[in-house]
């Protein structure tokens, strides 16, 4: 079924633990991601068959798989944990897709591993569906992310605050190597493993950088540089859609630059840089506007981990790594500038653009304006100023929009672009549909409480085309009522 070609399993034994997934008493398929199956060269009908469900639930380890749990460490809310590892995730193996890219196929929630500590190795249905909806929405928005290949119910309840239906998510990722994987070996002083991991990660994710100037030191520095670029671009994309990751620990910071771990994430409704949703993020460490700073902090942990490889002379190693880490700011600013210009309908770059955008964001924050709705309406107003009232009505004080719009229109007038093509470009940069917290909860609730997967199916379908107006689903684009102001998310354990 899967044409596995496993490379991580060939790495030294201390990189992982071999495991056997737990038995699920009554596997039942909830959803197979057919386009993704096709990309992976997997027969979607076979995957959706009862035999497929046995594999997706972990009951049958398919031919060619090497079931294993990855070893890694991580900084969680700033505190170093030397041994985390996959406590409830089991890598089956790797497949090379129709696009030539190699991806991991992993079961999340298929039972305990040697890294489970006190955990049960399981996942509840709600968080599995949440990851399915949100990760696939991110992919459709064009943001690098792990994907969801399938969700199956296990038929076995999991004990959380209450008994909940258990489920397994099949996660697909460019790899599951994280900053925390490097920290794991660095903390052990295992230089040989660090070197092996560096070469492996570089060859797997940034092969062009590996080819240039072989050698341990330049490999480590090249990898750091590429991860800085990837993470800076990723966070800029998050800010462009109002995504709050919620748990930006270094074990959730992917070396490939994909968004990973959809536990407590949420999307902004009203624009607010201080917004946090996670029930455990008391200090707001991972608040929306802190994300660039935290990404850079996480990258510094990667820099520290690979430091012994960067140069034999420690001062020189620090100098080289610091220079790469400091590049984060300019790479992020450039990426964020591109994101904001696209959102504002600006085809060219001008010096005043950042100030124009910053002025707008301040007004959105003080006016408590819905972020997604604002930009979608702005696209319409860009071609038709008579629609300004509909934009201004989103502000507590409509004059705040009109004052800014004057400067924006003056800026637009300096571009040689037809209103129609500008509006079309803006609508490709500003989604009509994001996974609205209220709608996600509604879909999860229907599935978990009533076994009704209709709202989940609809949400997945609508969010697969986030830039299309889908008038028949207009209610899924609406901002929430005030009841969602103190919406909280929980780590999906």
Question: Of residues 64-83, which lie at the interface with ligand AMP (CB under 6 A)?
Answer: none
Q: Which two tokens stand for residue 291?
A: 């994300």
122 binds, among ligand AMP, Mg ion, none (CB under 5 to 8 A by kind): ligand AMP
Q: Which is nearer to ligand AMP, 263 or 455 (CB)?
A: 263
Q: Which is nearer to ligand AMP, 146 or 372 (CB)?
A: 146
Q: Which is nearer to ligand AMP, 109 or 257 (CB)?
A: 109
Q: Which is nearer to ligand AMP, 59 or 106 (CB)?
A: 106
332 binds, among Mg ion, ligand AMP, none (CB under 5 to 8 A by kind): none
Tell me which stretch binds ligand AMP (CB under 6 A): 94-102, 116-124, 275-283, 380-388: 116-124
Q: Which is nearer to ligand AMP, 225 or 255 (CB)?
A: 255
How far is 140 from 211, CA to CA, in rounded Å?
32
Helices 314-344 and 419-429: crossing angle, nearest 10°?
130
What b/e readout covers 234-255, taking b as 16+ CB neighbours within 10 angstroms?
Answer: bbbbbbbbbbbbbbbbbbbbbb
Q: How far is the CB of 275 from Mg ion (least distance, A)?
A: 21
Binding mask 235-264 vs Mg ion (x if CB under 5 A, - otherwise)? -----------------x--------x---
Q: How far is the CB of 137 from ligand AMP (least distance, A)?
A: 19
Residue 121 binds to ligand AMP (criterion: CB under 6 A): yes
**Contact pick of 31, 75, 103, 122 for ligand AMP (by CB under 6 A):** 122
CA 175 distance to own-chain centroid: 13
- Nearest to 140, CA basis, from 481, 404, 435, 470: 435
Q: Which is nearer to ligand AMP, 84 or 391 (CB)?
A: 84
What three-state secondary structure class fits 412? Answer: helix
On whether the CB atoms of residues 146 and 258 are closer than 8 A, the answer is yes
How far is 147 from 256, CA to CA, in rounded Å?
13
Q: Which is nearer to ligand AMP, 85 or 93 (CB)?
A: 85
Binding mask 234-273 vs ligand AMP (x if CB under 6 A, - otherwise)? -------------x---xx--------x-x----------
Residue 226 binds to ligand AMP (criterion: CB under 6 A): no
Tell me which stretch binds ligand AMP (CB under 6 A): 117-125, 145-153, 167-175, 440-448: 117-125
Tell me which stretch binds ligand AMP (CB under 6 A): 113-121, 201-209, 437-445, 447-455: 113-121
Residue 120 binds to ligand AMP (criterion: CB under 6 A): yes
How far is 347 from 365, CA to CA, in rounded Å?
25
Q: How far is the CB of 261 from Mg ion (least distance, A)?
A: 4
Question: Of residues 258-317, which lie at the interface with Mg ion (CB under 5 A)?
Answer: 261
Q: How far is the CB of 230 from ligand AMP (least distance, A)?
A: 19
Q: Catalytic site residues?
A: 251
The single-letter DSSP state of residue 62 is: P
Q: How far is the CB of 5 from ligand AMP (least distance, A)?
A: 25
- Nearest to 239, CA basis, from 284, 295, 278, 282: 295
Q: Which is nearer to ligand AMP, 185 or 433 (CB)?
A: 185
How far is 419 from 440, CA to CA, in rounded Å?
35
How far is 380 from 239, CA to CA, in rounded Å?
22
What three-state secondary structure class fits 9? Answer: helix
Q: Which two tokens stand for residue 393?
A: 């009505």
**Contact pick of 9, 17, 114, 116 for ligand AMP (by CB under 6 A):** 116
Burial environment of residue 182 by CB neighbours within 10 A (0 to 12, 13 to 18, 19 or more): buried
The owner of tokens 């990309």 is 39
What b/e readout covers 190-216, taking b as 16+ CB neighbours within 10 angstroms?
Answer: eeebbbebbbbbbebbbeebbeeeeeb
Q: How far is the CB of 252 from Mg ion (least distance, A)?
A: 4
Q: How far is the CB of 381 from Mg ion (least distance, A)?
A: 41
- Taking phi first (over 0 means left), then psi (-120 to 50 degrees means alpha), and beta for anything else, what does residue 304 get? alpha
On whether the CB atoms of residues 276 and 259 are closer than 8 A, the answer is no
Q: How far is the CB of 4 from ligand AMP (least distance, A)?
A: 22
Q: Which is nearer to ligand AMP, 247 or 287 (CB)?
A: 247
Residue 388 binds to ligand AMP (criterion: CB under 6 A): no
**Contact pick of 31, 75, 88, 176 for ligand AMP (by CB under 6 A):** 88
Phi, psi of 18 (to 5 degrees): -75, 140
Antiparallel, parallel or unpaired: β 266-267 and 243-244: antiparallel
Give the number of residues in contact with ligand AMP, rule: CB under 6 A: 19
218 binds, among Mg ion, ligand AMP, none (CB under 5 to 8 A by kind): none
- Nearest to 95, CA basis, from 124, 120, 119, 66: 66
> Interface residues with Mg ion (CB under 5 A)?
252, 261
> Interface residues with ligand AMP (CB under 6 A)?
84-89, 115-116, 119-122, 247, 251-252, 261, 263, 491, 493
């Amino acid at each position: 079924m899967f044409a596995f070609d496993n490379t991580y399993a060939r790495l030294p034994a201390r990189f992982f633990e071999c495991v056997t997934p737990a038995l699920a008493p009554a596997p039942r398929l909830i959803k197979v991601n057919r386009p993704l199956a096709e990309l992976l060269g997997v027969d979607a009908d076979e995957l959706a068959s009862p035999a497929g469900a046995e594999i997706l639930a972990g009951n049958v380890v398919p031919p060619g798989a090497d079931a294993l749990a990855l070893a890694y460490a991580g900084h969680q809310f700033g505190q170093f944990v030397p041994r985390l590892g996959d406590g409830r995730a089991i890598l089956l193996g790797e497949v090379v897709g129709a696009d030539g890219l190699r991806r991991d196929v992993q079961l999340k929630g298929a039972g305990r591993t040697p890294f489970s500590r006190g955990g049960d190795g399981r996942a509840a249905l709600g968080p599995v569906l949440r990851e399915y909806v949100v990760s696939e929405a991110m992919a459709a928005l064009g943001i690098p992310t792990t994907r969801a290949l399938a969700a199956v119910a296990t038929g076995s309840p999991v004990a959380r605050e209450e008994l909940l239906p258990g489920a397994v998510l099949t996660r697909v990722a460019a790899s599951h190597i994280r900053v925390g994987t490097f920290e794991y070996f660095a903390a052990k002083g295992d230089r040989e493993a660090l070197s092996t991991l560096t070469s492996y990660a570089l060859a797997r994710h940034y092969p062009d950088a590996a080819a240039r100037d072989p050698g341990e030191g330049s490999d480590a520095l090249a990898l750091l540089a590429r991860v800085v670029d990837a993470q800076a671009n990723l966070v800029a994309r998050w800010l462009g859609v109002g995504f709050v990751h919620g748990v930006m620990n270094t074990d959730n910071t992917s070396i490939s630059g994909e968004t990973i771990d959809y536990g407590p994430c949420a999307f902004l409704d009203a624009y607010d840089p201080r917004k946090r949703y996670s029930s455990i993020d008391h200090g707001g460490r991972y608040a929306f506007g802190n994300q660039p700073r935290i990404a850079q902090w996480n990258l510094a942990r990667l820099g520290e981990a690979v430091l012994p490889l960067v140069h034999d002379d420690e001062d020189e190693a620090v100098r080289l790594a610091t220079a790469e880490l400091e590049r984060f700011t300019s790479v992020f600013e450039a990426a964020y500038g591109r994101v904001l210009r696209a959102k504002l309908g600006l085809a060219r770059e001008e010096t005043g653009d950042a100030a124009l955008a910053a002025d707008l964001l301040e007004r959105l924050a003080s006016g408590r304006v819905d972020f997604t709705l604002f930009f979608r309406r702005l696209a319409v107003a860009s071609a038709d100023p008579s629609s300004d009232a509909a934009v201004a009505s989103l502000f507590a004080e409509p004059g705040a929009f009109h004052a800014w719009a004057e400067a924006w229109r003056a800026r637009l007038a300096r571009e040689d672009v037809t209103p129609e093509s500008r509006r079309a470009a803006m609508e490709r940069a500003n989604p009509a549909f994001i996974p609205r917290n209220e709608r996600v909860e509604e879909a999860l609730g229907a599935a978990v409480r009533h076994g009704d997967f209709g709202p989940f199916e609809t949400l997945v379908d609508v969010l697969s085309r986030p830039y299309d107006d889908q008038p028949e689903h207009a209610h899924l684009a609406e901002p929430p009522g005030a009841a969602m102001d103190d919406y909280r998310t929980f780590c999906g354990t």
